[in-house]
Structure 1
């Protein structure tokens, strides 16, 4: 435990909800893992900024979106986990090509709003199960597009509580990576697409949805794509060729439908899920010499 959080100094000053020892398993797709030392759900941006400004700088802060690409370790997450709620889930149309999105808005909401406004180029967000904050931090992408292709700027609240707007070139984007400061929370982003017919946008969204349905275990307890695609190949292909399709450790299993997905078949612990991932990495390394890199974020401490 972080000692200076046992009696949080800002409890009486926050307008949002601050919960001690908050279970995170119900909030993440794997449905496993421990608790947050504190879970903070701010009322709005001002509330978040004020909270972080008076929080001891030594206390770690982590943002949580839909928890769709994350393993929360069984010992839980020390410090404060920030979860953005409905106040951060709005999407506004600024002009014929531009959207202003809250950090808690889902990819489905963003892409649907874009469709209704005749803004193309953001359909790929329909296929990423997460929120704008996570997309921006991880340079989320699918179907040949990435956030760096549509991002104009993002609004963040730094660990100090300072609010700042960062342009695209300040984020240092590479494949599934940004250089956002540690502890920063993405509270909004501006995306720019291009004019398109709503019917054409819907057709592309339908194509993406059908492709996901056919190839991914969407109705399972999973964490999405587990490993980054290595240069010149695909992670699932290397995993399959290393004989890992269907590989199981307790209730953790490599999906038979898509080898780059790990599944919780029932009561798998986060330790089992992570260990299975490491076993896959070892087998791929032994088979092809390729070192798979985790794409899933692994947070917290082992039990």
Structure 2
């Protein structure tokens, strides 16, 4: 199998690049501020499937740059999906739990009503709609709390701050499933393989690590596995205001992905251990 991946430096793209048959395209070749550049690459590719792993992910900055975020998160994926549909190429597009409003305390299923709280969620939802409208075989995979040994993410931030301080206040009323990028990469490839074998399958799915946990308890696990002695003090989101409002409930019902593609929800604690070992090997 050959996969054309949009994205090269992000957490997911870097994990996808570790697999055979994957060609990752960076901004030098596919600039999502120029959506047509991506379409041309799809028209020329010899790949069996397309995966969109590139996105505008600066959640807070999106509140001021929604037009740019819309181009990257909605217009470009829509154009790429159209080019893929024209060739009958299966497409896997990664989305987010931010399409929901975070209400309630039950895991959200893919078919539940969406209601983004901010600009980032709105642009990602528009991207989902554009991919669906293209009409080709596709799997939209919503995920949450992606972490890895690459780029900027919660694990790396906590390890840095925990080593510098004796005590940290961490939000405890936001609950979700941390998702190791390596597991997400495997899920994207498995979904792409499934769509190649049976293009009639597909739709919108959820994929996140288990068990669900608060940011505060996630931090505690990071410190415990990193051998860092740093006290974690639980606080509500109201005590940590941000430009963009975060969903309190990021729990995702991932059962449909297992039913349709045999992709099981991973234990994020296993992935966390791998990430920490990779960071320690890097001296980070």
The answer to whether TM tops 0.5 is no
RCO higher in structure (CA 8 A, sep ≥6): 2
Q: Relative to total residues, which structure has the larger strand share, 1 or 2?
A: 1
